């Protein structure tokens, strides 16, 4: 990966940080796209302790704010001519009912719409970069989920885990639909999806409160560490034999733990009509349209 440029959203902790560490070891230039700059700079220092020669930059990005997404993309595009890897990693999981600045339900707004808008705004750079890739993180929670088009903002009822599953299904549908459209236009950019199994990361909170230490200890005993959870992302970003559209997850029992392997998504992902509707709704809500012309 020497000489390649990678943006990783949510790179200050958990899976994003471990992905950044891997990319640093492989020689990539890394952009840590984070909401909190202080935490991002702390992550930069942690990466440099392992890889002192790494090329790292911290940039502010709040995926729950479309204006922040626009500002990030404009700043990046003004400074860089190419983008080899966009890792749509950041996520929020099962918060109390919350709205984003743009009046979206927080999980759908941050996990899906924010990444949709970011990818669309960075697409010109991705298309200019030969063999670039977009890797979008989904979750086991996408299974048995649906897109609630009549209640996307949760105003007609909200259940945190149900809406988390919706956002992760949206991530996987977006990655799949994006790859189909890239292939239709005959470009070399690939879109792939992955999931970390069940990893002991700081996503596991009770509301906005940290989980008690005793439960954190149990998580680390029975779930795989973030270093393992990040491997499907690294594999999706670097494996030469992948052709786009693949879904990568751990190979162990229940796909909860293990090493990266190809996986079959829930059959709902194959519904082209729902994917098309989700794409159209996402463009309308974000105001971002995708231009696949180089």
Cβ–Cβ under 8 Å, residues 271 and 265: no
Q: How many CA atoms lie within 13 A of 145 on its CB side?
A: 27
Instruction: Quote the DSSP letter at residue 147.
Output: -
Q: How many CA atoms lie within 13 A of 168 on its CB side?
A: 26
272 contacts: CB under 8 Å, gap ≥ 6 = none
Q: Is 259 a residue of the active site?
A: no
Closest among 124, 101, 142, 115 to 8, alpha carbons compared: 115
Q: What is the CA radius of gyration of the chain?
A: 18
Closest among 98, 118, 121 to 108, alpha carbons compared: 98
Q: Which of 97, 158, 222, 259 is catalytic?
A: 158
What is the rounded CA–CA span in Å between residue 84 and residue 76? 13
CA distances 218 to 197, 212, 222, 233, Å, are 16, 10, 6, 25
What is the set of active-site residues?
Answer: 158
């Amino acid at each position: 990966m020497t000489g390649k440029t990678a943006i990783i959203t949510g790179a200050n902790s958990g899976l994003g940080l471990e992905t950044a560490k891997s990319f640093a070891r492989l020689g990539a230039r890394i952009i840590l796209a984070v909401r909190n700059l202080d935490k991002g700079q702390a992550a930069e220092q942690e990466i440099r302790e392992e890889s002192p020669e790494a090329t790292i930059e911290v940039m502010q990005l709040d995926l729950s704010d479309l204006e922040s997404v626009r500002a990030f993309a404009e700043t990046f595009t003004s400074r860089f001519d190419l983008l080899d890897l966009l890792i749509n990693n950041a996520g929020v999981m099962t918060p109390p009912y919350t709205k984003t600045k743009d009046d979206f339900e927080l999980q759908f707004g941050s996990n899906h719409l924010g990444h949709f808008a970011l990818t669309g705004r960075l697409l010109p750079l991705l298309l200019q970069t030969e063999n670039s890739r977009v890797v979008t993180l989904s979750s086991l929670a996408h299974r048995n989920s649906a897109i609630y088009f009549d209640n996307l903002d949760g105003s007609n009822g909200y259940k945190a885990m149900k809406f988390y599953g919706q956002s992760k299904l949206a991530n996987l549908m977006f990655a799949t639909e994006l790859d189909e459209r890239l292939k239709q236009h005959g470009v070399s950019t690939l879109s792939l999806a992955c999931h970390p199994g069940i990893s002991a990361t700081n996503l596991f909170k009770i509301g906005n409160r940290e989980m008690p230490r005793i439960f954190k200890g149990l998580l680390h005993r029975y779930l795989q560490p973030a270093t393992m959870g990040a491997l499907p992302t690294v594999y999706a970003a670097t494996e030469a034999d992948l052709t786009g559209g693949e879904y990568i997850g751990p190979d162990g029992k229940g796909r909860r733990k293990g090493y990266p392997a190809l996986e079959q998504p829930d059959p709902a992902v194959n519904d082209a009509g729902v994917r098309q509707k989700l794409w159209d709704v996402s463009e309308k809500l974000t105001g971002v349209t995708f231009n696949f012309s180089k």
